[in-house]
Amino acid sequence: MFKPKYPTPDTYTPLQHIAPHHSTALTPTTQVPAPMPTPVQAPAPVAPARPTVQLTPGSALALAAGGGAVVLVVGTVLVSMLLAVAITGASVALVAVVLRLLIRDMQRGR
């Protein structure tokens, strides 16, 4: 059921369109197709061996220090962005309270 069904090979043979005496009769040719040569498979290419990475204690320490520096820089940037949003929110809230008090004072007629 799950096997593909391939069509049968093409068995078409071309007809000779013009007879040697220039008649309009069509006659089939008797040429036999040449047998297909069997394909020769080349050996599969072998991937070159990759050198393994050797970590020395010094390079491992440098890698850990670099990773720690990246974490500190990213953390500092994120905290500063959060602080900027918090300060902006507090400022907007303070301005809203001051405006509300001014509008209330104007309505009372002071």
Instruction: Say if pTM beats, i.e. exceeds, 0.75.
Output: no
CA pair distance 59, 56, nearest whole angstrom = 5
Helix (H, G, I), strand (E, B) or coil at 20: coil
Q: What are the extents of the domains in the chain?
A: 78-110
Instruction: Residue 24: count other Cβ atoms within 10 Å of its Cβ.
Output: 7
CA pair distance 72, 15, nearest whole angstrom = 82
- Per-residue pLDDT in tens (0 to 9) along the chain, 110 residues: 688 887 787 776 666 555 555 555 555 566 766 777 777 777 777 777 778 878 888 999 999 999 999 999 999 999 999 999 999 999 999 999 999 999 999 998 76
- Tokens 């593909």, located at residue: 4
Judge contact between 17 and 4, C-beta under 8 A: no
